[in-house]
């Protein structure tokens, strides 16, 4: 559930309905179905798989813009633990939404697939790709 217009693939509301009720329940059902699918496929506790996915897809370094005398330069900084957690969850959710947007793939299947890929550290995972890209840019700005 994200706010915005929803005109592009990765922006806007996930739950697009006329009514404003039931969106949280619908989101919870999607997550529950994804966890059931993960449990069937991996034969492990889905919460543990999800935690491994968050650990693998959380960036350690990021860049910030510092202004010195009218010149803006990017500087590499360490990421706080809360921001690491937020970024990892955001990227996993974006990956599931992007894969299911205007396709026949169901959201719960896309979410389960992304969590499994991220937990394994697979390079084809969107969250892992995004983490690697953020860290690459941070290394370049040291």
Q: Domains of the chain, with CATH numbers?
A: 23-140 (1.10.455.10)
The pLDDT tens digits of the residues spanning 95-135 come to 988 888 788 999 999 999 999 999 999 999 999 999 999 99
In this predicted structure, which of 6-15, 21-30, 56-65, 70-79 has the lowest mean pLDDT? Answer: 6-15
Distances (CA, A) of 55 to 47, 90, 116, 131: 12, 13, 12, 11
Residues near 112 by beta carbon (within 8 Å), at least 6 away in sequence: 34, 35, 37, 38, 41
Predicted pLDDT of residue 40 = 96
Q: At 8, is the pLDDT very low, low, confident or very high (cuts 50, 70, 90)? A: low
The answer to whether the CB of 57 falls within 8 A of the CB of 125 is yes
What length does the chain have? 142
- pTM (whole model) above 0.85: no
């Amino acid at each position: 559930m994200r706010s915005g217009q929803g005109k592009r693939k990765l922006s806007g509301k996930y739950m697009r309905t006329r009514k404003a009720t039931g969106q949280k329940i619908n989101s919870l059902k999607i997550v529950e179905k994804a966890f059931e699918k993960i449990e069937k496929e991996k034969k492990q506790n889905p919460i543990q798989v999800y935690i491994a996915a968050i650990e693998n897809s959380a960036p350690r370094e990021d860049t910030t813009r510092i202004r010195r005398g009218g010149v803006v330069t990017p500087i590499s900084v360490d990421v706080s633990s809360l921001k690491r957690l937020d970024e990892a969850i955001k990227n996993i959710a974006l990956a599931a939404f992007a894969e299911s947007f205007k396709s026949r793939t169901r959201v719960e299947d896309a979410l389960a697939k992304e969590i499994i890929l991220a937990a394994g550290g697979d390079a084809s995972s969107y969250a892992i790709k995004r983490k690697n890209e953020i860290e690459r840019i941070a290394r370049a700005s040291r």
